[in-house]
Each structure stands twice: as structure tokens, then as C-alpha cells.
Amino acid sequence: MKIREKLNYKKLKKASVLSVVLTLIIGSIFSTVAIAKENHYYEFETEISKYNDNYEVTTEPLGLEIGETISLRDHVISLGGDEKDEFIWLSSDSDMVVVDAVGNVTAKQNGTAKIYCIVGDAKVVFTIIIKDYNKNNLITNFPRLNDNPKLRAASGKLKVFVDPGHGGTDSGAIGPTGYNEKEMTLDVGLRLRSKLEAKGIIVEMSRTTDVELGPTEREDLMARANMGNKFGGDIFVSIHNNSSITSNVKGTETYIHDSFGPGIDEARDLATKVQNSLVNNLGSVDRGVKTFNYCVLRETYMPAILAELDFINNPTIEVKMKTPEYREICAQALYDSIINYFNLTPGNPVPTEGITLSDKDLYLIEGYNKKITANVQPANASDKNVTWTSSDINIATVDSNGNVKAISEGEAVITATTESGGFKAYSNVKVIKGINGHRLFGSDRYATSYEVSKQGWKDGQGANVVLASGEDYPDALCAVPLAKQCSAPILLTRKNSFEQGLKDELTRLDTKKVFIIGGETVISKDVEQSIKSMGIDIERLGGVTRYETSVLVGNKIDNNGAVTVANGLNYPDALSIASIAATNNMPIILTEKSSLNSNVKSFIENKKFTKSYVVGGTTVISDELVKQLPNATRINGNNRYETNKNVISTFSNSIDFSKVYVAVGNNYPDALSVAPLAAKEGNIIILGDTSNTTNYTIIDAIGNNYEKINDTYILGSSTIISDDYLNNNGIVVK
């Protein structure tokens, strides 16, 4: 094995001749094996732990479909790996994704796993996100620029989505002195936004502060792409820094994903212009335009590029990156290339035609600030200057940049007036004292379920417990009404391991009986036996399918003549109504989109329900199916958050709003765990859209019931649901 230059800022363990020989032997064995996490978890952990002292190089997450194969060896070499070196390849979960001895990776089932390449003193980490990609909805069908971009520019509707990579707990790559990729990319992104907006281009950013956009790496990436798609940008620009195996690699490279359609020509054109502009302005090494399966590029529906500005782990480059002058050059280079791509040229003055504001209605807590953005039409208007006024400065003030400060409780109107043409737009500001917020969470989803149990059930109070999977949602969705009827908390468990935290909580509650929701493929026989060994009775409610399981659970409910029906292939709709269904003794029955499972059909007929509530639109439950249900009322919205809002509105007369629970809407465990607690006192769960701190999903769901609320309980830490998002929705965390 070639002895490579040690990184001058990373102390690596010195290896003896014997350890080098052992590494070669082990490498030759494990380079042909991808260790499965499910069946050989401890073997994998043991093997990867041998390389704890290796310098870790992280790469941007990749997206694959089931059955798709990609080679990673050349990418590792491009990061400084030597072809003569020994390459050791490991998979964290070979049930999910396998890797062979030469770095060919094949996706096996939907989910997330990591591939590790051990080469020299380095450990290169690839996150692999496997999901189904609907090619027909991607780049081929997204609205394209006009054939003549100048005509599009004249319309004043150009839109650019800027994605500063990483953020929050995800620092990205780290330089020799600790300078983080997330800091550099955010500063460049904000500078780029200012330049584009000054040109009259509409800009939205995935983040404008140091936050991550999801509780997991997968959710964070999906949020970035989904924000760009919802925004409907003409282009998507993701800004990153590179990291390499050795400290001497440098250069700029720009990536596209080219699997789909003729629209790739535009993405390649944008990438070429970005690459050339960066290289020319930075004086960097030209590593070229490349194609790779980066997940954030594959998820976007428009021409999208990922710019790796340079290698932050190169000491010389890091010194430059830490200077505002260098970051300004990066932003200018990106701006120049985007302007070049859109073919924008100076022209005659463009008159102002109108103005709109980012917030027509604004809730603010006393003492808090919020910036309102004025959008002058057209976007390329020559004079975009605006004056701001407040109707009552004793309630709310506003400065010359649209920053509103809440002074005291009451209502005021903020007015923005264009200096050219005198066009006006208004924002109604309501200043409130703020709802008390309390965080309720544990170190992970399992610990969170135990903390919720402690919140709602005293020592020795839990004669019954409902046990659900923390790894898969379908069987668990229908469990909440059963938990309410049995005065039981829902505790989450792993499939194959009976962990000490679960044992402790069962003991604390003095549990007499556990209802296991789902078959042995969901919660194993070993877990069941471990609980039995504590002297606890077990009743397992698990059908062959999730639909049969929902019927088995439904038969346990002393219903009041009403039933809830939700799609079994996703979780948000069922979670929206879970606590309400439980409060009203309504079973939650799962179904496919267009047909009723025979067991479900028989259940509904035999129970002689007089009322049914269908949660979700026609894309999840068809009108034809609804016609088969008794006296059906459909509750739905444009997305899961609006559906949640409409569910709450439908049952508002029977809800106790004095206490409200808030959980993220892009994952199921926390909302599932807290639903029985909410149901105990007739409270609700609000699903929070945390993809952007300016979302008003909580306020929207509360509606006119704001004054009734005394306390809110937030499921998750500030990294999951930020204080900024809560404050924006009138909640002050104590």
C-alpha cells in the first residue's frame, strides 16, 4: 500500500508494520463483503470501528432506485485516492444496499444506508438514499424557459432557488482550523441572493440561517428539493465545498444529474456557465462539469446544479474561504453565470406596475421582530424603492427595510408604498403575548415515547400498554383509539431488541398487559418473549396485512357508530385525526386507494356504522371507494398540513383547546407516541411544517381558538422544531 502524506492538521494513529499487514489481510477479506446491519450489525460495527482513527471524508448524499447500480471507485480516486492503493468497501446495511470488491453499489430496497471506502489513512463516507423516482414528473415535464430567454426576462418572472449546503448540526466538510462548510455556503448564498434581487430576479433560499431542514439527512435533502419544486424556480443552485482524502487536492467542479429527458441540455448549459465563471473568477483548478447521482439534484424538477467551489480541507484554500473577499468573488461568479444563462442585458427603464407583501397577515409575540418582504412588480422594475409606515407605532413599528417589531398587544396595519407610482400593499399585524411552550422529547424516538408516557401516566398507573414499531408506521397508525380505550400509553420498540429503556418504563408503570400491534415481521417473537418473562400478559393484534391489522384493532374499540378511514400507504392523514378519533371512540381503518380489503369491507358492514370520516383527497382515497362507506364525509386539503387544519376545524366543537401538542409532519413516531396523551383530555395534535421558519401551519390550524390555549407541548428539540418557527406561530418555549 502506498504511504501517503499525512494531513498536517489531523493527528492520525501511527501504524506498526504488523498492523499494516493485518489491515491488508482484513481489507482483502472485507473488500468483497458488504456487512448487513440487520443480521450482522455487531460484525459491521466491529469492523468499521477499526478505522475510527482514519481521517473521515464525507460526500454529498446520493440517490438511487431499487435495482440501480453505480460505481464509486472513480469518485474516490478523484478525491485523492491512488489506484495502486487497497480499497476496502463496507455497507452499513446490505439488506438495503450492497457493494462489491471494486466499489459497485447496488440498491436493494427503499431506505437509507452508508457505504464506507477505506483507503490509506482515510475513510470516505457515502450516504445512499434509495427511493422511487417518477421520471415522468421530473425534468422533462417541468415548465421550461421560453425559447428566447430575453422574452422571459422581459416578463419579469425569473425565479432562482438558492440552496446553501448543510446547516445546523450538519456542519458539512470542515477545514484544518475548523472553518465549516455550512458557514461558507450560507454567506455566499446570501450574497448571491442580494445580487440577484437587485437585478429584479425573484429568489428563495432553502435556509437563511444556520439550521437544518429535517430531523434526518434524508428529510433535510427532501425538504430542500421540495421547497425548490414548490417555489417553481427556473433554476436550482446548490452551493457546497469539497473535501478530499489528502490535503493537497484542490479545484472547482460543478455537478448535474442527467438521467432524465431533453431538459438536461439546459442543466448542462447552466453548469458549464457556472463552472467557467467560478474557475475564471477564483483562478481555481478546473475539474470540469460532472454527472453524479446526487440526491438533491435528482429530486428537483428543474435545471439544477451543485457547485463544489473548492476543497475546504486544503489549508491554502481554507485560508481564502475565511475571507469575505473570497466569498464575495464566489457570489459574483455565480451571479455572473446565472445572468449569462438567462441572457439578461441592460435595457430601457422598466416602470413599476404594483407591489405585494410576503405576509398579508402577521402574528407577532410582544418584543419579537419579523421582516416583511416587498415584491415590486414587475420583478425587473427599474425603481424598487419602498417606504414603510405603521398605523399604530404603540403596537408595532417598522423600519425602512420592512423589519416589524411587536411593541404591545393589539392590531396594527403595516403599509408599503412604492416610490415610483405610489402603489400600496398592506400587512395586518396582530401582536400577542404568546402561548407557553414546553418541549417534550428524548434522545431518540423510543426515548421520546417513554418521556411522553411519564408525562401522562404516573408510577404504577399503566396497567395496560400498547406497543408499536418505531421503525415502520402502517400497523401503528390504527393503535391510538385502542390506547385511549385501555387508558394506555403507546411505547415504541425496535423490531428485534428489547431495550433497557422500554423495560424500565414497563416496570415503572407496573404493566399488567401489553397489546402488541403488528405481526412478528414488525415486532419479533424475541421481544414478545422478553416482555412475557417480566410476568406481563401479551395480546398480539397483527394481521397478514396492515389492513387486516386495522380491523383486528378496530374490533377492540367500543365505537359510537362512527369510523375513520385513511390510506394505509402513508401516515400523515391518519395521524391528523388520531387523537380526535380516539377521543370520539372511532376506530381508524386503513385502506388502499381504490378498493376495500375484504376484511375491511366485512368489518364496516358488520359493525353497522352510521357515519364515516374519510381523511385525504382523491389521490389517496378515490370517490368510488367513498361511495361504499356509510354517510361519508371527506376531510382533506392541498397538503398534509392543510388536511390537519381541516380535521381540527371539522371537530372543533368537541376539542379541548386548553392544551395543544405539536409534532413534525414529515415523520410519524413522535406524533404517534403523543396521540394517546392528547386523547386523554380531548386535546389535538398539530403537524408542524418546519421546512421554513416562516410557515404559519400552527397558527392556521389553531384558527379562532388561539385565546383558548394555555400551553403547548412540542415533541422534539430545537434542532427538530426550531424556536424561530414556534415564535413565528405565537409560541414561546419556556
pLDDT, one tens digit per residue, over 476-523 is 779 999 999 999 999 999 999 999 999 999 999 999 999 999 999 999
45 by DSSP, 3-state: which?
A: helix
Whole-prediction pTM value? Answer: 0.51
pLDDT in tens, 666-715: 887 888 899 999 999 899 999 998 887 778 789 888 888 888 999 999 99
Asked whether 436 and 711 are in contact (CB, 8 A), the reply is yes
Mean confidence (pLDDT) of the chain: 86
294 lies in the same domain as 393:
no
Compute the average pLDDT of residues 274-279. Answer: 94
650 lies in the same domain as 541:
yes
pLDDT band at 9 (very low <50, low <70, confident <90, very high): very low
Compute the average pLDDT of residues 172-199. Answer: 93
pLDDT band at 361 (very low <50, low <70, confident <90, very high): confident
In a domain, 533, yes or no: yes
179 by DSSP, 3-state: which?
A: coil
DSSP classification of residue 402: -
Asked whether 457 and 676 are in contact (CB, 8 A), the reply is no
Domain boundary pick from 409, 433, 457:
433
Instruction: List the one residue out of 718, 439, 709, 673 whose CA is nearest residue 578.
Output: 673
Residue 421 has a pLDDT of 86
In a domain, 461, yes or no: yes
In a domain, 22, yes or no: no
Domain count, the chain: 4
Residue 17 has a pLDDT of 32
Domain boundary pick from 413, 433, 453:
433
E strands present in 44-171: 55-58, 62-64, 69-71, 87-91, 97-99, 104-107, 111-119, 122-130, 159-164
Cα separations in angstroms, 444 against 272, 297, 390, 723: 43, 29, 45, 19
Q: What CATH number is associated with residue 40?
A: 2.60.40.1080
Q: Residue 113 is part of which domain span?
A: 1-8+28-131
DSSP classification of residue 170: B
Enter the C-alpha cell of residue 22: 493485518
Compute the average pLDDT of residues 647-673. Answer: 91
208 lies in the same domain as 273:
yes
Q: Give the Cα separation of 604 and 378 in Å (integer).
A: 56
- E strand or H helix at 506: helix 500-508
Longest Cα separation, the chain: 84
Asked whether 159 and 202 are in contact (CB, 8 A), the reply is yes
In a domain, 498, yes or no: yes
pLDDT band at 106 (very low <50, low <70, confident <90, very high): very high
390 lies in the same domain as 263:
no
Q: How far is CA 153 from the centre of its chain?
A: 33
Q: Which residue has the cell 401489553?
A: 514
Residue 264 has a pLDDT of 75
Asked if pLDDT for residue 3 goes beyond 50, the answer is no
In a domain, 369, yes or no: yes
Residue 147 has a pLDDT of 40
Residue 266 has a pLDDT of 83
Considering only CA atoms, give the Rg of the chain.
Answer: 28
pLDDT in tens, 200-243: 889 999 999 999 998 888 899 989 999 998 888 889 999 999 99
Residue 367 has a pLDDT of 84
Asked if pLDDT for residue 115 goes beyond 60, the answer is yes
Q: Give the Cα separation of 333 and 569 in Å (integer).
A: 45
More confident residue, 261 or 350: 350
274 lies in the same domain as 261:
yes
Active-site option among 60, 219, 308, 451: 308
127 lies in the same domain as 252:
no
pLDDT band at 155 (very low <50, low <70, confident <90, very high): very low
Asked whether 166 and 306 are in contact (CB, 8 A), the reply is no
Q: Is 45 a catalytic residue?
A: no
Instruction: Please provide the DSSP assignment of 269-306 as one string.
Output: HHHHHHHHHHHHHHT--EEEEEE--BHHHHH-SS-EEE
DSSP H helices in 65-180? 73-78, 149-154
pLDDT in tens, 313-359: 999 999 999 999 999 999 999 999 998 888 765 445 678 889 999 88
Q: Which residues of 359-388 are buried (b: 16+ CB within 10 A; e: fewer)?
A: beebbbbbebebebebbbbbbbbeebebeb
Residue 134 has a pLDDT of 56
Q: What CATH number is associated with residue 270?
A: 3.40.630.40
402 lies in the same domain as 316:
no
Domain boundary pick from 433, 459, 486:
433
606 lies in the same domain as 574:
yes
Give the dihedral sign, CA 461/466/468/474: negative
In a domain, 347, yes or no: no
Asked if pLDDT for residue 98 goes beyond 80, the answer is yes
Asked if pLDDT for residue 13 goes beyond 60, the answer is no
In a domain, 221, yes or no: yes
Q: Give the Cα separation of 32 and 23 in Å (integer).
A: 14
Residue 348 has a pLDDT of 52
3-state SS, one letter per residue, for 298-361: HHCCCCEEEEEEEECCCHHHHHHHCCHHHHHHHHHHHHHHHHHHHCCCCCCCCCCCEEEECCCE
In a domain, 15, yes or no: no
Residue 90 has a pLDDT of 93
**β partners of residue 469:** 493
